[in-house]
DNA sequence: CTCTCCCT
């Protein structure tokens, strides 16, 4: 294909994947035309629609102005507000660019109005009027829902026309013209219809956030859009970004061979003055945060404070210190001063200033300290006085030396924590105005950077750090680390101070340190395992995932790890084990999807869990597996009672709740057989009990469950149940709110299914001889890690310590802890995970046997687990392929075990059937004749033997006759082929 | 014995 000419090296691969897509698109082409016709035939009674028809015809003309105008009847006040948005001035430029290009990149910071207005421009230009609709993707569910509501309101249209779709719900109708959805939803739609024929334009919003689905969508759309246009089904792509970092899209030749135009839109934001610290506290940044907030509150004019910290624990500890320092219940006496002196250090000077606080003109302020960049060098010499007229706002960053022992209720501060796992009703408090006379102070994690916008914020305090999850690419172990944020992130945080009026951002680090921050955060896709993405792409018939036009590709280790896991799970066909080395190398990263993989790709969960679902039908286990997978997929189903409490009484309350929660988990885990399902039994029990009780907030509260998590599990169970029924018509599974606990047999089955899905997450208790080193006490060994891993103390199996376990994940904190642990049996491992086992030669005893039920030769084989060489018990399995199997099959055939009809001749054989196995067998021609005959038809089992007979009824007759006296030949011929039951005689 | 944040 001509587009791929620039990368000569892999033009071959590109061609084939292009062809794949061509193929897909051609298949869909006729369907699409039919759909178009259907759409056109639909009755269009509305006046607006008549205009649409007319305009649509003129659309193709080469006018420089949009030829189409679909009227929208906006309310006057809305129209007025709209006209103030900077993006409105750019409508013409934007629409002309869209007209002239397949893809347009639009950059505009928050406040430009691009998200709400661009869909309206497109609507007015007729993009939803000729059969196609306008699709908009958002990285978050809340954003998708609120965006659709807002655009509907602005356009004075119903939610049936401007609609949304998220994972579990939506209000899309057949009249929908603008559809706002989460990015994952659109990706799933591509699985159903590669050409996205419903849409005439797709807007990818918040592309700068670089969420994995956004990145994949852009990669896919870079191919889909030209394909659509080539087929005469016009389609446009608009990528919207809040930052100017768009080179990954525009300069990426694999994505767009000619760079799409970039249009910049001004943002109307209020000025935010940024204040850097002179010194950067490296350890006690929470203390510095606390002191900075105290100063702002004492010295600066009214206005909400938003504080960025890194985690729940920090948030609560700072909240607690602030509440002590500025109690917002004025009457309450605070005599229990448990805080350290440092916590309550206050500046006398600051206090004096507070008394005579001037109204400062905040708009009129320098953006940066004059000596920007020199702070660190001057640190130690510089003191925070002597800053002249800027003093009032330049709060300084040295801990004050003066002590203040008493809490100050005269200036109440309304302190609220905010983080993602916080209960929604607690979260909602930040959106309400603070009590009269008090100042709002929200102490938040990164949720407040993008997901939630808090009104009335004038001051931002930014600790400059973020907590991120890290994955070890080799071992898969994850850990959380606090790192510096990027400059883009720091600016985003600062911007939160200027939403309603000019504001100030206090950065608890120097501008030199800021200068060392990376410009932008890394794309998420480079920071996490990609097996789920690879499976989805394989399902789209993109076999050579390395050639996919990622805006930023994942590391090749990550891609290889993903491919290997998917092969182990059976989702991809095994690569060739023979042939030239270069071909094997090539095959390694381009394995096609298997039928199992197709089924797995239909389940919207991680591949390991999808495998469990694919196996879940046995012994009525499906509803349990669906529940377990749902609970494992939804994070943090238990309430956390270990965080620092706000007060002593709260502490007591929390420890009571914790005790109750621990007790309930023990109850749900059960005893005996069910306990061995471990933490997964706890999940199953918790969900079962909660649903049985009707999923009320009260039940969750009383039993230490997160209500929001339980709701999500309920919805996920519903979705997975539908998916299972869709993939497998006779699965016949439904969501049972009164689900009975699994029987003992079912628990055994569940553990095996879990083992099959988590085969690469297996661990074994260390052996006695290794216990000499105390660091291995109670430890487990895994195939990939040299260091010991442990069962997490919160696990149901923490004290049981089974010999073999599988785990959901390993999280490294003080030690490496396995979470989501389930006990497994050693004899299941070779049976269920043969791909990870090295099998030794068949055992002599018990001797190989013929299994009449399945018609194959079986034997016992020992094995060891890969990399760690754990000795596993011998289990019976298919005799390994090879000549020996033919010989054994021949022996069992002669004995009459394979075909009971010839059993009666076994006593008259001219040689013993065991002659087949002797080293000197060749001395007897009849052994060679029989063996050659079997090999020629690959008949080393009953099924292929019968197949050979269907081709040729006389097959094997003469070879067999050599084993029996001539007198019987005629009788034998009569019953040949000896298929079916023996004569009852 | 402790966990940033999101999406199918």
CB neighbours (10 Å) of residue A411?
16
Confirm if A223 and A21 have CB atoms less than 8 A apart.
Answer: yes
A198 touches strand B (CB under 7 A): no
CA distances from residue A133 to A158, A177, A186, A203, A234 in whole angstroms, order as listed: 15, 5, 13, 11, 12
A503 touches strand B (CB under 7 A): no
Q: How far is the CA of A601 from the C1' of B2 (A)?
A: 34
A446 touches strand B (CB under 7 A): yes
**Which nucleotide minimizes the distance between its C1' and the CA of A716?**
B8
What tokens appear for A394 in the block? 């330049």
pLDDT (0 to 100) of residue A23: 37
Q: Where are the alpha helices (DSSP H) in A429-521?
A: 447-450, 487-495, 511-516
Closest protein residue to B1 using CA and C1' atoms?
Answer: A793
A795 touches strand B (CB under 7 A): no
Confirm if A898 and A948 have CB atoms less than 8 A apart.
Answer: no
**Which nucleotide minimizes the distance between its C1' and the CA of A603?**
B8
A166 touches strand B (CB under 7 A): yes
CB neighbours (10 Å) of residue A693?
14
Three-state DSSP state, A677: helix
A659 touches strand B (CB under 7 A): no
Q: How far is the CA of A460 from the C1' of B6 (A)?
A: 23
Chain B nucleotides close to protein (CB under 7 A) are: 1-8
Q: How far is the CA of A165 from the C1' of B7 (A)?
A: 13
A313 touches strand B (CB under 7 A): yes
Distance of alpha carbon A910 from alpha carbon A900, whole angstroms: 19
A213 touches strand B (CB under 7 A): yes
pLDDT (0 to 100) of residue A124: 94
Q: How far is the CA of A729 from the C1' of B6 (A)?
A: 33
Buried b (16+ CB within 10 A) or exposed e, A921-954: beebebbebbbebbeebebbbbebbbebbeeeee
Task: Spell out which residues of A between 547 and 606 contact strand B, using CB within 7 Å.
Answer: 604-606
A167 touches strand B (CB under 7 A): yes
Phi, psi of A342, rounded to the nearest 5 degrees: -55, -40
* Mean pLDDT in consecutive groups of 10 residues from the start of chain A, 985 residues: 34 38 37 35 36 41 58 92 90 94 91 90 93 94 91 94 92 95 94 94 94 94 94 94 88 90 86 90 87 92 93 89 79 36 36 34 33 31 33 50 53 90 87 89 90 88 93 89 92 89 92 91 92 94 92 92 94 81 71 94 94 92 95 91 72 85 92 94 95 92 92 93 90 90 96 95 84 83 92 93 95 92 96 94 94 96 93 94 95 95 92 91 88 95 95 94 94 91 62
Distance of alpha carbon A872 from alpha carbon A861, whole angstroms: 10
Closest protein residue to B6 using CA and C1' atoms?
Answer: A140
A808 touches strand B (CB under 7 A): no
Query: Closest by alpha carbon to A465, among A485, A480, A488?
Result: A485
A636 touches strand B (CB under 7 A): yes
Q: How far is the CA of A311 from the C1' of B3 (A)?
A: 8
A451 touches strand B (CB under 7 A): yes
Distance of alpha carbon A386 from alpha carbon A390, whole angstroms: 9
Query: What digits encode the pLDDT tens for the residues A125-181?
Result: 999 998 899 999 999 988 899 999 999 999 999 999 999 999 988 999 999 999 999
A815 touches strand B (CB under 7 A): yes
What tokens appear for A367 in the block? 């953006």
Closest protein residue to B4 using CA and C1' atoms?
Answer: A467
**Which nucleotide minimizes the distance between its C1' and the CA of A609?**
B8
CB neighbours (10 Å) of residue A849?
15
Confirm if A109 and A269 have CB atoms less than 8 A apart.
Answer: yes
pLDDT (0 to 100) of residue A589: 80
Three-state DSSP state, A199: strand
Q: How far is the CA of A864 from the C1' of B6 (A)?
A: 40
A184 touches strand B (CB under 7 A): yes
Q: How far is the CA of A925 from the C1' of B4 (A)?
A: 75
């Amino acid at each position: 294909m001509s587009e791929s000419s620039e990368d000569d090296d892999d033009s071959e691969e590109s061609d084939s994947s292009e062809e794949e897509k061509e193929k897909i698109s051609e298949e869909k082409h006729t369907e699409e035309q039919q759909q178009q016709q259907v759409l056109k035939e639909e009755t269009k009674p509305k006046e607006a629609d008549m205009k649409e028809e007319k305009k649509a015809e003129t659309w193709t003309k080469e006018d420089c102005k949009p030829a189409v105008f679909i009227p929208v009847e906006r309310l006057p006040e809305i129209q007025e507000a709209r006209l103030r948005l900077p993006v409105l001035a750019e409508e013409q430029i934007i629409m002309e660019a869209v007209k002239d290009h397949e893809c347009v990149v639009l950059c505009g910071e928050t406040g430009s109005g691009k998200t709400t207005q661009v869909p309206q421009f497109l609507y007015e230009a007729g993009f939803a009027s000729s059969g196609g609709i306008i699709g908009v993707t958002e990285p978050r569910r809340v954003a998708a829902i609120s965006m659709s509501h807002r655009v509907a309101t602005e356009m004075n249209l119903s939610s049936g026309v401007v609609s949304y779709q998220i994972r579990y719900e939506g209000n899309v109708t057949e009249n929908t013209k603008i559809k706002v959805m989460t990015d994952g939803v659109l990706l799933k739609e591509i699985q159903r219809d590669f050409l996205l024929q419903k849409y005439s334009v797709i807007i990818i919003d918040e592309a700068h956030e670089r969420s994995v689905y956004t990145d994949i969508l852009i990669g896919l759309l870079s191919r889909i859009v030209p394909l659509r246009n080539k087929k005469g089904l016009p389609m446009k792509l608009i990528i919207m970004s809040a930052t100017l970092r768009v080179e990954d899209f525009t300069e990426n030749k694999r994505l767009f061979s000619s760079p799409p135009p970039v249009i910049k839109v001004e943002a109307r934001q209020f000025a935010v003055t940024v204040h850097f610290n002179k010194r950067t506290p490296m350890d006690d940044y929470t203390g510095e945060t606390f002191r900075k907030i105290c100063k702002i509150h004492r010295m600066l004019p009214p206005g909400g404070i938003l504080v960025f910290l890194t985690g729940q624990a920090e948030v609560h500890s700072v909240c607690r210190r602030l509440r002590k320092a500025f109690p917002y219940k004025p009457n309450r006496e605070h005599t229990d001063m448990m805080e350290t002196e440092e916590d309550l250090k206050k500046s006398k000077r600051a206090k004096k200033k507070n008394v005579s606080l001037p109204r400062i003109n905040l708009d009129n302020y320098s953006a940066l300290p004059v000596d920007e960049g020199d702070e660190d060098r001057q640190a130690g010499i510089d003191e925070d006085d002597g800053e002249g007229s800027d003093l009032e706002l330049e709060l300084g960053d040295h801990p004050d030396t003066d002590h203040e022992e008493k809490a100050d209720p005269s200036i109440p501060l309304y302190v609220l924590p905010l983080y993602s796992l916080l209960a929604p009703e607690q979260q909602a408090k930040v959106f309400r105005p603070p009590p009269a006379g008090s100042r709002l102070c929200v102490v938040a994690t990164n949720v407040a950077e993008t997901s939630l916008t808090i009104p009335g914020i004038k001051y931002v305090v930014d600790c400059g750090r973020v907590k991120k999850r890290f994955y070890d690419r080799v071992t898969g172990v994850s850990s959380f680390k606090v790192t510096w944020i990027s400059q883009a992130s720091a600016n985003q945080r600062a911007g939160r101070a200027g939403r309603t009026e000019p504001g100030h951002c206090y950065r608890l680090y120097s501008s030199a340190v800021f200068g060392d921050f990376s410009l932008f955060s890394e794309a998420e896709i480079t920071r996490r395992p990609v097996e789920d993405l690879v499976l989805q792409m394989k399902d789209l018939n993109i076999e050579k995932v390395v050639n996919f036009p990622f805006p930023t590709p994942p590391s090749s280790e990550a891609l290889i790890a993903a491919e290997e896991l998917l092969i182990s799970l059976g989702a991809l066909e095994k690569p060739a084990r023979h042939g030239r080395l270069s071909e094997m190398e090539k095959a390694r990263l381009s394995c096609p999807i298997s039928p199992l993989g197709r089924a797995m790709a239909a389940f919207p969960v991680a591949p390991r869990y999808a495998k469990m679902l694919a196996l879940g039908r046995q012994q009525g286990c499906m509803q349990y597996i669906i529940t377990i997978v749902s609970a494992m997929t939804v994070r943090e189903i238990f309430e956390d009672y270990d965080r620092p409490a706000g007060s002593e009484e709260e502490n007591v309350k929390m420890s009571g709740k914790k005790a109750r929660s621990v007790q309930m988990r023990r109850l749900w885990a059960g005893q005996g057989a069910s306990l061995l399902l471990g933490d997964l039994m706890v999940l199953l029990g918790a969900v079962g009990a909660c649903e049985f009780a009707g999923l009320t907030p009260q039940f969750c509260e009383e039993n230490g469950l997160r209500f929001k998590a339980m709701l999500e599990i309920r919805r996920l169970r519903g979705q997975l149940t539908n998916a299972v029924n869709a993939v497998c018509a006779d699965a016949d599974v439904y969501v049972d709110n009164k689900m009975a606990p699994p029987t003992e047999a079912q628990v055994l089955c569940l553990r095996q299914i879990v083992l099959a899905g988590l085969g690469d997450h297996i661990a074994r208790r260390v052996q006695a001889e290794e216990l000499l080193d105390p660091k291995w006490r109670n430890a487990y060994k895994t195939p990939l890690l040299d260091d010991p891993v442990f069962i997490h103390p919160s696990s149901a199996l923490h004290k049981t310590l089974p010999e073999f376990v599988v785990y959901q994940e390993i999280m490294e904190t003080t030690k490496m802890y396995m979470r989501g642990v389930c006990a497994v049996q050693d004899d299941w491992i070779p049976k269920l995970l043969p791909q990870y086992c090295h099998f030794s030669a068949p055992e002599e005893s018990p001797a190989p046997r013929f299994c009449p039920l399945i018609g194959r030769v079986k034997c016992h084989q020992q094995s060891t687990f890969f990399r760690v060489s754990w000795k596993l018990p011998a289990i019976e399995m298919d005799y390994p392929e090879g000549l020996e199997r033919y010989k054994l099959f021949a022996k069992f055939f002669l004995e009459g075990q394979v075909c009971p009809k010839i059993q009666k001749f076994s006593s008259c054989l001219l040689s013993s059937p065991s002659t087949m196995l002797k080293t000197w067998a060749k001395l007897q021609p009849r052994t060679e004749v029989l063996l050659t005959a079997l090999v020629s038809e690959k008949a080393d089992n009953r099924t292929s033997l019968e197949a050979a007979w269907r081709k040729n009824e006389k097959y094997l007759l003469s070879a067999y006759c050599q084993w029996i006296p001539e007198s019987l030949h005629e009788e034998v011929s009569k019953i040949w082929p000896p298929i079916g039951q023996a004569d009852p005689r």
